[in-house]
Structure 1
Amino acid sequence: MPDGSQIKASFANSISDIGREAWDACAGHSNPFIGFDFLQALEESGCASADTGWQPFHARIDLDGMDRPLAVMPLYMKSHSYGEYVFDHAWAQAYERAGGQYYPKLQSSVPFVPATGPRLLSRADDMGRISLLEAAQGLTDQLGLSSLHLTFLPEDEAQLAGANGYLIRNDQQFHWRNRDFRDFEDFLEALSSRKRKQIRKERRTVADSGIQIELLTGGDIQEHHWDHFYRCYIDTGARKWGQPYLNREFFSLIGERMADRILLVHCSLDGRPVASALNFIGGNTLYGRHWGCVEDHACLHFEACYYQAIEFAINRGLTFVEAGAQGPHKLARGYEPVKTYSAHYLRDPGFHRAVAQYLAEEREAVAGDIAYYGEHSPFRKD
């Protein structure tokens, strides 16, 4: 880098203001969610906007003499804490009871996606990443906001944030790991006898029901598939949390721009669609995102969301399947507990100290849960 070059931080109210080439030069192509196409689809469809409480405020670091950014970070001004999956509602309530104003806050994440991925997108490793941390913290101070949150970070970025004064929070998810399995039967043989029999019984239940399962990707995914998927998504969303976050336009946009990175599990019975599951294909990971059904069929959720994902990952030579938030029930299906990370900057020193104490206790509890679930792994102990 040129000697004496000056670093400049700026913020964009639209990812389009940064541009695909500049953004993806920093983001790379391993994780589908932090790429330009996915984030722009959220903005263009109106899912991530000021109206939904996700005002884009993306950070950009430039260096004199360079024709593209040194680093970028997805960043949003939030007026609530929904769609994040790292829950800080209790923090907001406590801060406001003490007379503070918690919202708006800054959030670095992928809206509505509880999947680990880089947030400090840099072409210069720690130089760019530290500059992003400092720029976002500086913006929080400048605007007088209560806090800044970076959620679902990879461990190395969390460690870097911790070394720069951010508070670190842990939680857990359940991920499947490919142990060089030759096929699905090879995976089953690695499980305890009881778990192996359970999975075979569940898969047989679906097969005997007559349900047809298609794995669609690329040009095989048509608009009528998205129509059916969206009906399933709306039904599940309405039953679980009231108002689904994503609209129909969003799915058309990603289908148009990211089809080769999408795996859609399409389930039908006697020619009528009954269920669907949406996955995204990363460099070494398959990410399960959404599932829904318009008819209830025994064990179909396990088959469409977990077993088809595992089989696809084995066939593609992928290392991991991430099936989203929650779910100790995934343990019985071959998924194992892993630690997740987030980093938090709280501007008020007293608030910072109180949350730091809480997080120390929470990290200990999470470690205990992971150890407990690890002891109950579905894999054979021999």
Structure 2
Amino acid sequence: MTETEITLTLHERLSDIGEAAWDACACPEAADGGRPDDPFTTYRFLNALEQSGSVGPGTGWEGHYMSARAGDEVIAVAPLYAKGHSQGEYIFDHNWAHAYERAGGRYYPKLQIAVPFTPVTGRRFLTKPGHEAMGRAALTQGAVEMAERHGISSLHVTFCTADECAAGETLGLMARRTQQYHWENRGYADFSAFLADLSSRKRKNIRKERAAAQGFGGEIVHLTGDAIQPEHWDAMWHFYQDTGARKWGTPYLARAFFDLAHDVLRDDILLIFALRDGWPVAGAMNLIGRNALFGRYWGCAEAHANLHFELCYYQAMDYAIAHKLGRVEAGAQGEHKLARGYLPKPVHSLHWMSDPGFARAVAHYLEAEGAAVDDEIEILTSYGPFRNTEEEEHQ
């Protein structure tokens, strides 16, 4: 089958593609009844964003979901959005936008293949098994042609996999490397086994932090599936709104998203709450993948020492160990994660610019930035909390 037999279609609504066709490309591994590798690219998650009004007209995230068909069969899909700003992306291009517009260009709207508001690496060119190369090429070519046809400045594919990044480069896109912090479960039997891997000073610090946090005057609970009740979403919305207003000015998710999450996502979600007298005073929301726990939102109604670290990092690690998950991804940024066992990992994205001169300038920037990121990852990893056996033997 050749590329000329592939039909590309843009859809303003995810329902035009349909759940079965989308998930056959997005999470074929879940056909066995297990969890998807990436819960964020599932139909239920992306559709909840759309149906809640978190994306769509007036949000700066207008859906133009792509499908690639071979005959009547959907072989590939992509979450494509027309962006009216650079908010909610976490791969920052504000400086590019300012430079382009100072030179007289119009940067927005731009096209973005991404999961809105979600700094989590995963496949962005979602293909059925056996159609990877054909599907990626068709979706990439289609997105670039759409940008060229409509005079759009640029295309961005954010938080894609390393394999997609390499393939995208061969198709003419520019690769970018940034970094974030992940915790890896090295087959730990319990949290104490993790602590045994750390230097003595870091072990003591973490024990002190956990003791202080757990002394807030209540209990910490893990809630998922049917254990999550509507009042828990009320509390989580309050926490999310407070933190979002302080961090971003305006929270990205609509209130209706949390109601839809209860209906269709609660089995994918882990809420970690600090309760006093049965009522949450702080909470963290996570999504559960097949081999990873993804930390997303945190907030509190009261300030307690180290409770943020306990709920967002240490309790997440406890859950991952107990459920034999391979890693915890705790979101974007935050060098404070390093001392708590979260090490820097590369993050990949792809970019295409319509203006050749601007594309050359961005390419030079990405080359220098990539080298600096590689150096930073190496340096930060060396400052991690894990013990140096030779040094400890000489203490």
TM-score (norm 2): 0.94
Map residues 284-299 of structure 1 onto 2, 5 A cutoff: 284-299=291-306
1:177 to 184, 193, 200: 184
CA distance in 1, matches of 2:319, 2:208: 20
CA drift at 1:251: 1.0
Offset from partner CA, 1:208-246 (integer Å, 9 cap, x none): 232211100000001100000111111111111210001
Q: CA RMSD in A?
A: 1.1
Helix, strand or coil: the match of 1:378?
coil
CA drift at 1:206: 2.0
CA drift at 1:259: 1.2
Helix, strand or coil: the match of 1:51?
coil
1:110 to 99, 106, 115: 115
Q: Which amino acid aligns with 2:374?
A: A
Per the alignment, do residues 4 and 81 of structure 1 end up closer, same or farther by CA in structure 2, a change over 3 Å counting?
Answer: closer
Helix, strand or coil: the match of 2:122?
coil
1:61 to 50, 53, 68: 68
CA distance in 2, matches of 1:332, 1:63: 50
Equivalent in the alignment of 1:163: 170
1:201 to 199, 203, 208: 208
* 1:373 maps to 2:380: yes
Helix, strand or coil: the match of 1:113?
coil
Helix, strand or coil: the match of 1:297?
coil
CA distance in 2, matches of 1:4, 1:336: 41
Map residues 199-238 of structure 1 onto 2, 5 A cutoff: 199-238=206-245
Offset from partner CA, 1:63-100 (integer Å, 9 cap, x none): 12x3x311000000011111111111111111111111
CA distance in 1, matches of 2:261, 2:167: 32
CA drift at 1:368: 1.1
CA distance in 2, matches of 1:179, 1:129: 33
2:55 to 33, 48, 61: 48
CA distance in 1, matches of 2:265, 2:108: 34
Structure 1 residues not aligned, in runs of 5+: none
Query: 4+ residue stretches of structure 1 with deviation over 6 A?
Result: none
Per the alignment, do residues 95 and 122 of structure 1 end up closer, same or farther by CA in structure 2, a change over 3 Å counting?
Answer: same
CA drift at 1:4: 9.3
Aligned 8 A contact 1:313 1:321 in 2: yes
CA distance in 2, matches of 1:21, 1:264: 28
CA distance in 2, matches of 1:168, 1:373: 22
Offset from partner CA, 1:263-305 (integer Å, 9 cap, x none): 0001112333211100000011100000000100011000000
Per the alignment, do residues 109 and 5 of structure 1 end up closer, same or farther by CA in structure 2, a change over 3 Å counting?
Answer: closer
1:300 to 304, 307, 312: 307
Helix, strand or coil: the match of 1:152?
strand
Helix, strand or coil: the match of 1:181?
coil
Q: Which amino acid aligns with 1:173?
A: Q
Equivalent in the alignment of 2:30: none
2:88 to 54, 76, 83: 83
Aligned 8 A contact 1:85 1:114 in 2: yes
Offset from partner CA, 1:27-76 (integer Å, 9 cap, x none): 01220000000000000000011210100011110112x3x311000000
Equivalent in the alignment of 1:351: 358
Q: Which amino acid aligns with 2:24?
A: A
1:92 to 97, 118, 130: 97
CA drift at 1:127: 1.0
Offset from partner CA, 1:88-145 (integer Å, 9 cap, x none): 1111111111111111110010000011111000111111111111111111111110
Structure 2 residues not aligned, in runs of 5+: 28-35, 390-395
Equivalent in the alignment of 2:266: 259
CA drift at 1:351: 0.6
Name the count of aligned residue pairs: 379
Equivalent in the alignment of 2:10: 11
Aligned 8 A contact 2:214 2:307 in 1: no
Helix, strand or coil: the match of 2:74?
coil
Q: Percentage identity across aligned positions? A: 51
CA drift at 1:204: 0.7
Helix, strand or coil: the match of 1:290?
strand
CA distance in 1, matches of 2:277, 2:47: 38
Aligned 8 A contact 2:175 2:348 in 1: yes
CA distance in 2, matches of 1:245, 1:164: 33
Offset from partner CA, 1:164-215 (integer Å, 9 cap, x none): 1111111110000011101111111111111111111111112223221110
* 1:74 maps to 2:79: yes
Equivalent in the alignment of 2:19: 20
Which stretch shifts more, 252-261 or 347-356?
Answer: 252-261
Helix, strand or coil: the match of 1:246?
coil
CA distance in 2, matches of 1:198, 1:346: 47
Per the alignment, do residues 4 and 174 of structure 1 end up closer, same or farther by CA in structure 2, a change over 3 Å counting?
Answer: closer
Per the alignment, do residues 137 and 193 of structure 1 end up closer, same or farther by CA in structure 2, a change over 3 Å counting?
Answer: same
CA drift at 1:5: 7.2
CA distance in 1, matches of 2:161, 2:4: 29
